[in-house]
A and B are shown apart, each in its own frame.
Chain A
Amino acid sequence: EAGVAQSPRYKIIEKRQSVAFWCNPISGHATLYWYQQILGQGPKLLIQFQNNGVVDDSQLPKDRFSAERLKGVDSTLKIQPAKLEDSAVYLCASSLDPGARSPLHFGNGTRLTVT
C-alpha cells in the first residue's frame, strides 16, 4: 500500500512569511495527525483529526497555526506568520482506527527553515 505522502519535502522562508504543508494519508485511514519535531527533540503532537473533525488541537498555537482536513482525506497545515522558532520537521501520520489500537504510519515530513 502507498504510504503517507507529504509535500513539499523542504521549505525555506523568512520570518513573518506564511507557509503551507500538505498531507495525503493512507487510503481508508480515518485518523490523521500533525506532529512537530524540533531538531534534537522528539515529535510533539499539534493536532488530531478524526475524518474531517478535530479531536484534539490543544497543543496547536492557534494564533499562527491552522489546519484543516476537508472531505476527511487530505490535510493542510498552515503557519502565518512564521517565527524563527517554527523551524522544525512537520510530520503527518495516519491511522486506520486508534480505538482498535491500529499503528500510526508516518510520512517523511516537511523540513521548514525560517530565517
Chain B
Amino acid sequence: GNSVTQMEGPVTLSEEAFLTINCTYTATGYPSLFWYVQYPGEGLQLLLKATKADDKGSNKGFEATYRKETTSFHLEKGSVQVSDSAVYFCALSDSAGGTSYGKLTFGQGTILTVHP
C-alpha cells in the first residue's frame, strides 16, 4: 500500500536559517504529492503540491520538487521566519485519479519551531 515517511523531528531553527524537511514515499503508479501545514489552533492548509515527476511546487517561499527516481518530495525554504512555526505534513494522493484524488496518505508530521 501507499506510505509516506517524514524526517523525524521536531526541528528547531533560528530566524533566517535554511529549512529542509525530508519526505520519501512508497506508492504504485504516479501519485500527486502535497505538503500541508497546520498552524497552532488552526486546521490543515495546503501549502504546495506537485502532480508529476520533476514538477516543482512553491508557495510562501517554500519549495518542493517531485523526484520519482528517489521517491522524494523534500520541503525547503531559504530563510525561515518565526511565523513559519507550525506542523508540516507530507502527503500523497491515490494515483487512481477521479474520486480517489482526495484519498490522502499522510506522513507523521514534523514540528517546526523558529526562534527570533
Enumerate chain A interface residues (CB-CB to B < 8 A).
3-4, 31, 33, 35, 40-45, 48, 50, 55-56, 91, 93, 95, 98-99, 101-104, 106-109
Q: Given that A3-B43, A103-B46, A107-B43 are contacting pairs, would A42 and B4 also be in contact in the complex, using a CB cutoff of 8 Å?
A: yes
Enumerate chain B interface residues (CB-CB to A < 8 A).
4, 32, 41-46, 49, 51, 89, 91, 97-109
CB atoms of A91 and B4 under 8 A apart: no
CB atoms of A42 and B106 under 8 A apart: yes
A15 CB → nearest B CB, Å: 26
CB atoms of B44 and A98 under 8 A apart: no
| C-alpha gap A108/B44 in the complex (Å) | 7
Q: Given that A40-B108, A42-B109 are contacting pairs, would A33 and B43 also be in contact in the complex, using a CB cutoff of 8 Å?
A: no
| C-alpha gap A91/B104 in the complex (Å) | 13
CB atoms of B46 and A31 under 8 A apart: no
Residue of B nearest to A40 (CB): B108
| C-alpha gap A105/B46 in the complex (Å) | 8
Q: Given that A42-B91, A42-B107, A104-B104 are contacting pairs, would A99 and B43 also be in contact in the complex, using a CB cutoff of 8 Å?
A: no
| C-alpha gap A43/B9 in the complex (Å) | 17
**Quick one: which of B51, B99, B109 contacts A99, CB cutoff 8 A?**
B99
CB atoms of B104 and A45 under 8 A apart: yes
| C-alpha gap A31/B103 in the complex (Å) | 11
| C-alpha gap A14/B49 in the complex (Å) | 40
**Quick one: which of A41, A56, A91, A104 contacts B108, CB cutoff 8 A?**
A41
Q: Which of A4, A40, A42, A50 has the most CB of B within 10 A?
A: A42
